[in-house]
Every structure is written in C-alpha cells, then in structure tokens.
Amino acid sequence: MRTAPTILHLDMDAFYASAEQAAKPSLRGKAVVVGGLGPRGVVATASYEARVFGVHSAMPMAQARRLAPNAAYLVPRFGLYREISEHVMSLLHRLSPLVEPLSLDEAFVDLEAGGTGWDEASARATGERLRADIKALTGLTGSVGLAASKMLAKIASEQAKPDGLVLIRPGTERALLGPMSVRVLPGVGPATGDHLRRAGITTVEEIAEAGVDELVRLLGKAHGTALYAMAMAQDERPVVAERDAKSVSVEDTYDVDIHDRVRIRLEVQRLADRCVQRLRGAGRSGRTVVLKVRRYDFSTLTRSETLRGPTDDPAVVREAAGRLLEAVDTTGGVRLLGVGVSGLADFTQEDLFAQAAGDRSEEAEHEEAAQQLKGEEPAPAERHWLAGRDVRHAEYGAGWVQGSGLGRVTVRFETPGSPPGRVRTFRTDDPDLESAEPLPLVPNAGGQAPEPGTGPDGGEADGRGGGSGKAEDGRGRVRQGEQTGVPADREDGGEHTVGGDSTDGGACTREEDGVHGADGGGVVALGADRCGGREYDGSGGREYDRGVGGERREPAGPDRAPDSQADPAGEGAGSGCESRRVGPAGGESQVSSESARRPKSRSGGRAAAPGSETSRP
C-alpha cells in the first residue's frame, strides 16, 4: 500500500443527463431522463432532479415514467458524449501517463507516475485544478476521490458526489470502511450480498471479524480471500493504462417479441454486420462467433462456434451466426438477439470457402430483391425525428427535437449559450429541416454560440416553460402545452400510439456502449384537426382530444396549425398554465388547470465519513 493518497478517481456527475441539460437551456434545473423510450427501454442516466423521484440508472423506462411523469425523456446522443469524454480524458493524460478509463465518464489516474502528486497537499491541489479545468472546458462537473488505492479512491469519489472532492488519509481506511455495507466492496453484488446477509454479515467490519477461513468456506478460496483483503483495506491493484478487449458484441432488445423465423434470421445477419464493423473499427479479428438469444420467457441461450482461424469478414461471421441460430428453438418468440466475436487477434486467416459461399448467397439475395422490386417505384423513406436529437432549420437555425408524431415534428430553437428558445412545429417531411451535428457545450475562446432563431412575429420565450399557447401572430395558431415522452400511468406500460401511424416510444436498442431508442417523441399538436389532433389510446381505435388539464375537448377548426412555446419537461399540462384557443367565430375560450406542486430537487453531497475530508464549491 502507498503512504500517500496519489491515486485519483474521476466520475462525471450524471454524465449523459448533465450533457443534455448543458446543451438545452430549457432543461436546466428540470428532471431529465436519458435512455430507450420504448416500452422495454431502460434508463441510462437520470439527472439529480429526476433522482429525487426515485429514478435511477438501469431502471425500466416504464417505471421511471410512473415515478416522474413530468420529466423530459430523451434518447442518448453518444456522439456528443464521446466528444466530451475525449476532452476530459485529454486533461487526465496531462496529469499522468497512467490513465485507466473505465467508461466514457470514469477513470483512474496514478498521480505519482506523472509527478503531479506525491503527498496529500499536492494531490489535493491537482484534484481541485482538474475539477476547475473540466468545468471550464466542458461546462460539466465531476467528482474526485483521492486515496492510496483504487478501491478507496472510488469510494471517495462516491462520497464526493455531486461536484466535490474527498481525500482519504492513509491510516484511516479501516475506520472509514468498518460501518459501511458489504455492497461497497468491489465484487459484492446482489447475489453475494444476500449470501453474506444470510450468514449474518452485513458490514465491512463484520467481514473482517469473520476471518478469511469463514469467507473461504462461504464464497470459495479466490473470492473469499480477495474479499477479506479488501475488508482490511488492502488493495494492491495498479493503475493499468492499456486494457485489451476480450470480445466485441452487439445486441438489440425489441419492443414486441419476434416470432417470424425469417425476420429473426435477417436480424441476426444485421447484427453480425454491425459486430464486424465494430471489430474492424478496433483493428481486430476474432476466431469465435457467439450468438445470444433471450426468449419470450426471459430464458437466455448462448451458442458459440470456433472457426479455424481469426477473421473479420462479414460473410464468414454471418454464416457462422446463421448456423448457430438453426440449433435454437424460437417458437415462442424472442425479445433479444445478440452477436459477438471473441478470441481476438491482430491478424486474419480467412476461410475462403465460407467467404465464397457467403458471397454467392449475398449475390442471390440481391438478385431476388431486384426481381421483386422490378417495375415498382421505390417508396420514399419516412424521416424519423427522435426526441432530443439536433436539427437545423434553414430559417430558424439550430435546435433540437422536442417531440414527433402525427406527421409533425416539434423543435425548440435554442443553443447551449442562449436563453430558453421558442418552440415551432413542422411537417416531418419539411425540406428546410435537417439533422445536424451537436454544438459544443462551451464555445471556443473568443467565439460565441449562435443565437437561436426567432419567429416571424419577433416573439421572445418567456422562460416559464408553461406552454401558454397564445396566438401572437394573429393567425390563430394555437397548440397545447407539449411534453417530451408520455405519462406512464397507461396500462400499456409506456407504449403510446399517436394517430395510429407512429409511436412515441419505438424499438429500444441496447448495445455495449449504451441504450438506444429507435423512435421517440411526445404528445404532439393535440387539439388541431389539420395536425391530426386526435389521440388514439392504442386499444381499439378510440380517439379523443385532450385539453390542457387532461380533459377531453372538441377539436379546433381545420385551419389551425400549432405554433407556441411548450415545456420540454412536460409541466405544461397541469402546472397552473393557461391556454387560449381562438374559436371559429373569432372568440376566445380559456381553460386553466392546476396541479400539486412537485417537490424541489436536492442535490447535496453525502456527509463526509470519518478519516476523510470533503471540499465543495
């Protein structure tokens, strides 16, 4: 063990959600949940405002909607997260050559190896400077833990959350760990924790009192010995800069179980191609192809086949995955499919026969598809706008998708450096609207973030997020306050069909690097006939219109088009907001609604444990 706290652990605070709040001024200070928006979606990250309601990572999205129905639900933008992560990791590499990334937002750093920390004072100064540099470069906050070992440094960073620094002095580790739960130790999950609890062991101090022999009897020699050493605050693991990947894989979870054998085969081929793309992107090849199938009853089957040599050829991987699929019974349907490659190498030894067979089968598939499409006009591809994605309009500038459905897409025009912007609704096929790359969270030195577009009436956002819906341009264009996502008190657990043609929560995709939603959006443009202002409950074609307070209303006239401000966090309907509708005779009808106040979020850090020091801005 070291005699100085020179191992640093950095963990960004609610990374995905904080990045979305920094990029979208209208979401700052509000509950934000990032993850798959489908009925089988999973929460990737929740902001601290959402955690007040009990939402946390890895929670089913339908449960999160029930706990926080007014939160903003967005799909992940991994391109933006990776870009921010690269900036953060570059700061860490300036501190030391020994940086061990654990994920996009978490890493260990050996300060002693870089000469930036040799005692308590220098380590603390380096940690504080790192936090300030991250804030200046990315606009986000991170928590820092300093200790003499990796295990203790990670525990310290957990205590420092959010936006703090905790240093554990050498010699105080046993007193710090003693009263903590056994779950704080690495390698103790739910199963091991329950096993220890049944044996009467619930704290780290009780592990130390039980002794190594008792732990070996309970958990086995390897696990028991390692767990006893950690309970005694003994962790000799070094910070490793390079970690070799052992496998590459991709998998998808589907909203509805797949029963069609042909479609299952096509999905496996698509996953095999994606897996090979990632394999080639890493400059590797693999020898063993693995197929993962989770059936309708949650039973999971894994099959593997080892080739004669490493390969990175998609045809070879497709063919091997297809052979593995033939041995799996999918009669009852499947909810998840995955394809992976292990036994990685830096060279390839191609299976020429399999490759040739794959080329022939692929050519036959192309010919068959060409014959089926012969003489038919190709159908135009429908554009899907996912909630939270970046867009740009030719007239109004940069913005992000707040919701979509019924052939309409609603966009809020704002940028990271602007005040909360206006909301406008367009057709999904509007030629002036196109996807865009994310804008930097912090403009370069001397630069200025572009201002969001303003409407033709010159109106400004009132910043209240109440979805007031006033007809300011004299054309009677009114829309109800909109929310991103759908309240989860529906019987279908979050799946909500809008207009019968699109859903606000599409296929959820789970990969190694996160959770994706294949379609997203919210309640869009309700109360206007021309915009399809009827909401279908998805259980038999029943349709109705919703007013501000949720009551059913008669649809507006046929010449209404939505254009107003709305609350992206979903507080427009039921937060004391007011909505005015221009009647057919030029009159004005008014509906107001109020709801109970939701509790304010608290994001205070945890109390410092004995033997540790906490600093917070």
**SS3 per-residue string spanning 311-366:** ECCHHHHHHHHHHHHHCCCCCCCEEEEEEEEEEEECCCCCCHHHHHHHHHHHHHHH
Q: At what angle do helices 352-372 and 314-326 cross, to 10 degrees?
A: 80
pLDDT at 576: 36
pLDDT at 255: 87
Domain range annotation of the chain: 7-30+76-173, 181-231, 247-371, 386-443+450-612
pLDDT at 242: 77
Q: Compute the distance between CA of residue 467 and CA of residue 422 in angstroms, rounded to an integer.
A: 10
Architecture category of domain 181-231 in CATH: Orthogonal Bundle (1.10)
Enzyme catalytic residues: 106
Q: Residue range 57-69: average pLDDT?
A: 94
Q: Compute the distance between CA of residue 396 and CA of residue 134 in angstroms, rounded to an integer.
A: 32
Dihedrals phi, psi of 308, to nearest 5 degrees: -75, -20
Q: Compute the distance between CA of residue 551 and CA of residue 269 in angstroms, rounded to an integer.
A: 47
Q: Residue range 13-32: average pLDDT?
A: 95
Query: Could you tell me which CATH number the domain at 247-371 has?
Result: 3.30.1490.100
DSSP 63-114: HHHHH-TTSEEE---HHHHHHHHHHHHHHHHHH-S-EEEEETTEEEEEHHHH
Q: How many residues does the chain have?
A: 617
Taking only the tens place, the pLDDT of each residue in 536-581 is 333 333 333 333 334 444 444 434 333 434 343 343 333 333 333 3
- Token output for 304: 């593997």
Taking only the tens place, the pLDDT of each residue in 298-334 is 899 999 999 999 999 999 999 999 999 999 999 899 9
**259 contacts 333 by C-beta, under 8 angstroms:** yes
The CATH class that applies to domain 7-30+76-173 reads alpha beta
Taking only the tens place, the pLDDT of each residue in 245-260 is 889 999 998 989 999 9
The pairing of beta strand 99-103 with beta strand 106-110: antiparallel
Residue 100 has pLDDT above 90, yes or no: yes
Q: Residue range 3-19: average pLDDT?
A: 95
Q: Compute the distance between CA of residue 341 and CA of residue 314 in angstroms, rounded to an integer.
A: 11
Residue 204 has pLDDT above 90, yes or no: yes
Residue 589 has pLDDT above 90, yes or no: no
Give whole-number Cα distances, 298 to 252, 291, 334, 336, 515, in Å. 14, 16, 9, 9, 19
> Is pLDDT larger for residue 489 or for residue 23?
23
